[in-house]
Amino acid sequence: MTSLPLDGIRVLDSTYVFALPYTGGQLADLGADVIKIEGPGRPDITRGGGLYGTFPDNDPGEDWWNRPSTYQLLNRGKRSLALDMSQEDGREIFRELVKVSDVVMENFTPRVMRRWGLDYPNLRRLRPDIIMVSNTGYGHGDGPYSGYPAQATTQEGTHGHCWVTGYPNDEPSKAGRSFVDFLSTWSAMLAIGAALRYRNRTGKGQWVDIGMYQAGVMFLSEYLMDAIANGRAGERIGNRHPHRAPQGAYPAAGDDQWITLSVGDNDEWQELCRLMARPDLASDTQLSTLAGRQTHHDAIDDAIAQWTRQTDKYELMHLLQAHGIAAGPVLSGREVHFDPHYRSRNFLERVEYPEERGIGPRFLMGRPYSLSKTPLQIRGPAPTFGQDNIHLLEALLGQPPARVAAWAEQSIISSIPTTGEPSPTLDPQELVQRGQLAEWDPDYKARLGI
């Protein structure tokens, strides 16, 4: 059996929504024993579906809290402990788990773990080499925003992305639904790897304190440097680029089909003109420089669109790439499943669910990397709520069955959430008619081979 990179590492994952739950799922892929901890009266918001995922076959089922798609993606391969940490007995169980764990992840506002006596100084008393990861909107400390709640959908304003995302003379815009969540996921992965390396060398733990708004700022480095060096605030330029032209998304053959391309220098511009059979553009001295092409970008876009809309987007990509021009098709979520390169990379992995879950086989996103010496895969489906309560308390912590039964009676542990409700489900065809879905395939299972 192949040894995985994080075999033997145990992670307590007391986190909610997206950023660190996804970190936990990635750690589980790498071999860590990840225990997801939720309160019986505070289940993860992704269990409700709606904004945070859909129910398989659009059916909430009797145990709707175990079924939404986003919950499945983020929590694959974990174990589940439904533990009420607002009660002292629940916190005492958590302390006992800390003693036999390597990493603790949490994303409460700073006051919560301090109030419970579970902040880093207190966890160190339980296990001196513990690694703690805190993920908040603005980080811990004495800063004026540190106590504010936040989520990725508001964070893009605070780290500058909205200012430079959007179209000229239009309002600031977001980059998708929760861009900074992913940035915090990968920041946590890197920090945990570094902290484990440090612990291996020194025997000492670390507190990793992530401020999500700072994770986003790192990806605006050129704008920050331009402001420092030149006093320029940057601007919204849509699909264009300050140092490449032409660049944009252009219509391809078919309904709502698109191709992106980007020209980096004069030689690439000449090659694009040749492919479009437009010698007039190639010889136009007004377009022979980057500055000239940027000045006349609108007219160039019109010419490119006339050419691209006649040809399939994949065919265009292969043609342009063969001649040294960066290009790629614009894929919908559906098309990602069938893209040959995604399939060759095994990016979408088939996960089998136990028959009693009523979910069947499904595809989940894997990882954006592979390891040459260690084949990786999703190690199992996301757990049901409180699925591992008994095993964790009795086998891992050695608690007597009578005490565990008493905790269940007192709702300190639970296998059913005491709050929450499923998001309403609507007929997919109705959503298409409303314009909330672009398309729906009634035969999607057959198309995916599940």
List, for residues 190-229, the tens digit of each pLDDT value.
Answer: 999 999 999 999 999 999 999 988 888 888 888 999 999 9
Answer whether residue 2 shows pLDDT above 80.
Answer: no
- Residue 128 located in a structural domain: yes
Same-domain check for residues 315 and 377: no
- Residue 238 located in a structural domain: no
Q: Is residue 208 helix, strand or coil?
A: strand
- What Å distances lie between residue 193 and 173, 186, 216, 218, 286, CA to CA? 33, 11, 20, 19, 52
Same-domain check for residues 182 and 253: no
Same-domain check for residues 263 and 396: no
Distance of CA 127 to the CA centre of its chain: 30
Same-domain check for residues 299 and 207: no
The CATH code of the domain that includes 289 is: 3.30.1540.10
Answer whether residue 1 shows pLDDT above 70.
Answer: no
Q: How many domains does the chain have?
A: 2
Rg (CA), the chain: 25
Answer whether residue 4 shows pLDDT above 80.
Answer: yes
Same-domain check for residues 197 and 262: no
Same-domain check for residues 23 and 63: yes
Contacts of 236 (CB under 8 A, 6+ apart): 163, 164, 165, 166, 167, 168, 169, 170, 172, 173
- Residue 444 located in a structural domain: no
Per cent of the chain over pLDDT 90 is 79
For residues 393, 395, 396, 397, the Cα torsion angle rounded to the nearest 10 degrees is 50
- Residue 121 located in a structural domain: yes
Same-domain check for residues 374 and 256: no
Same-domain check for residues 377 and 310: no
DSSP 116: T
> Looking at this protein, which amino acid is placed at residue 91?
R
Answer whether residue 21 shows pLDDT above 90.
Answer: yes
- Residue 79 located in a structural domain: yes
Tokens 């993860």, residue?
A: 44
Q: Higher confidence at residue 87 or residue 51?
A: 87
- Mean pLDDT value of segment 134-147: 90
Same-domain check for residues 181 and 258: no
H/E stretch holding 184 reads: helix 179-202
What pLDDT sits at residue 291?
Answer: 97
- Mean pLDDT value of segment 405-429: 93
Same-domain check for residues 320 and 205: no
* Last residue within a domain, chosen from 333, 361, 390: 333
Same-domain check for residues 89 and 213: yes
The CATH code of the domain that includes 71 is: 3.40.50.10540
Which range marks the domain in which residue 290 is found? 247-333
* Last residue within a domain, chosen from 295, 312, 333: 333
Per cent of the chain over pLDDT 70 is 100
- Mean pLDDT value of segment 391-406: 97
- Residue 442 located in a structural domain: no
What pLDDT sits at residue 50?
Answer: 85
Same-domain check for residues 44 and 65: yes
Answer whether residue 177 shows pLDDT above 80.
Answer: no
- Residue 3 located in a structural domain: no
Answer whether residue 183 shows pLDDT above 70.
Answer: yes
* Last residue within a domain, chosen from 333, 354, 389: 333
Reported as half-sphere exposure (CB side, CA atoms, 13 A), residue 316 has a value of 28
What pLDDT sits at residue 258?
Answer: 98
Confidence of residue 157 (pLDDT cuts 50, 70, 90): confident
- Residue 196 located in a structural domain: yes
What pLDDT sits at residue 345?
Answer: 92
Q: How confident is the prediction for the chain on average, in pLDDT?
A: 94
For residues 19, 21, 27, 33, the Cα torsion angle rounded to the nearest 10 degrees is 160
